[in-house]
Structure 1
Amino acid sequence: MSLPLFALNTVLFPGCMLDLQVFEVRYLDMLKRCFKAGHGFGVVCIREGSEVGEAAQSFASIGCEALIGDWQQQPNGLLGIRVEGGRRFEVVNSKVQDDQLIVADVRWLPAIDELPLEDRHADLAALLDALGQHPMVESLGLGGSVGGQDALANRLAYLLPFSPEQKLSLLATAMPGERLETIQALLKRLKDGEP
């Protein structure tokens, strides 16, 4: 499937919300086409380059579909949109159009079955609940209780201050239990002051 890409300095996860301000013509045109066709676009993390101006020179080969949930004109006159992370995908190949929009052929990664939370996940669930008290997290509706391991792993991976490479590794990991174990290990490293 061909998918337009929005290259950002962030990693979007399934079920997570992202607010964007759109002002570049390439992305405004992309959004018009997405609205008309009734589909979303892809979000990929920039490895080399900038979010604005010319297309990113290098970006991650794994990304997340962005489903447009809401839009409005911001007080500054820019278009504001809220997207929700959908399916994960792998970029097969890509090209940069004349308007600097990146379009890619993608392969959808398998859907992940939601597994119930176990007792050993109680600390991570409590951490998400605590994060949910922050006004920004609360405004995105990402705090509180979740339905299972996948949702918990996605929200924590999205919200916690891990490096882009660590977040991409978590996005690429299919098994929710494995992702939660990795998050535990990364949190221990953060607590110990390790990178």
Structure 2
Amino acid sequence: MAAPSPPIEIPLFPLGTVLLPDAQLPLRIFERRYLDMVRDCARQGGGFGVCLILEGREAGEPAVPAAVGTLARIVDFHTREDGLLGILVRGGERFRVTRCRARADGLLRGEVELWPAEPAMPVPVEFALLQGILERLVETMAPQWRDAPRGAYDDAGWLGFRLAELLPLGDEERQRLLELTDPVQRLAELRDILPRFQKP
């Protein structure tokens, strides 16, 4: 993997879920610190970091975030039926948190190193089965990916992240797949996980 970028400071949003690159995630915003964060991101055109919670909860006291997360950019706003703000974010670059501090209002801010995007890498022939599995998953449960170009399925990074997004994995498994920097190794781990989902 190429060297990470110089550190930047971004707001962090620890969640009980993992955001993967290019994946979409709907969020319900109700705490003042996160309403202010969303407003600032909308004004400045910036993003915020989504990190899996290692200790603590999404609401209340600042939680302990995982060291590797994903930059989230807001793609849509709406008012939910319960009157709360709903946003839709898309995952961007992965990053590693090098330093973290909590503001007086409880919002975490992290100094992070953005990771470069994974270079396009063809899917090795021994993982062709995974391409067919993803096609079936997209057809049945992921309409947002039905218009993906055929060539995307031939890219090991994209294939691995989409499988990690759509398979019913545990948060710790998904976090490990996020942290891997070798797209072929990610496919190998996904292949080894698959028997768990096969009907006897």
TM (normalized to structure 2)?
0.87
Counterpart CA distance in 2 for 1:23 and 1:97 is 18
C-alpha RMSD of matched pairs (Å): 1.9
Partner residue, 2:171: 164
Q: CA deviation at 1:189?
A: 4.4
Pick which of 183-192 and 171-180 moved more.
183-192
Partner of 2:45: 38
SS at match of 1:133: helix
Partner of 2:121: 115
Deviation of 1:55 after TM superposition, in Å, equals 1.3
Match for 1:88 among 91, 94, 109?
A: 94
Residue of structure 2 in register with 1:24 after alignment: 31
Q: Residue type matched to 1:101 in 2?
A: L
Shift, 1:105, TM fit: 0.3
Counterpart CA distance in 2 for 1:10 and 1:54 is 18
Q: Aligned to 2:139, what secondary structure does the other structure show?
A: coil
Q: Where does the alignment leave 5 or more consecutive residues of structure 2 unmatched?
A: 1-7
The answer to whether the Cα contact below 8 Å between 2:71 and 2:95 also exists between their aligned partners in 1 is: yes
How has the CA–CA distance of structure 1 residues 94 and 192 changed in structure 2, closer, same or farther, with 3 Å as cutoff? Answer: farther
Structure-1 separation of matches of 2:99 and 2:119? 28
User: Taking every aligned residue pair, what percent have the same amino acid on both sides?
Assistant: 38
Residue ranges of structure 1 left out of the alignment (5+ in a row)? none
Structure 1 residues 146 and 32: CA distance shift in structure 2, 3 A: farther
Is residue 52 of structure 2 the alignment partner of residue 63 of structure 1?
A: no
Kindly provide the amino acid, as one letter, of the partner of residue 93 in structure 2: R
> Which residue of structure 1 lines up, in the alignment, with residue 5 of structure 2?
none
User: How far off its partner does 1:192 sit?
Assistant: 9.1
Q: Is 1:5–2:7 an aligned residue pair?
A: no
- Give the aligned length: 189
Which has the larger displacement, 76-85 or 116-125? 116-125
Deviates more, 1:162-171 or 1:97-106: 162-171
Sort the Cα spacing of 1:91 and 1:8 in 2 relative to 1 into closer, same or farther, 3 A: same
Amino acid paired to 1:103: R
- The answer (yes or no) to whether the contact 2:123–2:184 under 8 Å persists in 1 is no
The Cα of 1:165 is off from its aligned counterpart by 1.8
CA-CA distance at 1:142 after TM superposition: 3.5
CA distance in 2, matches of 1:83, 1:146: 24
Cα distance in 1 for partners of 2:50, 2:93 equals 11
Q: Please, what TM-score do these two structures have when normalized by structure 1?
A: 0.89
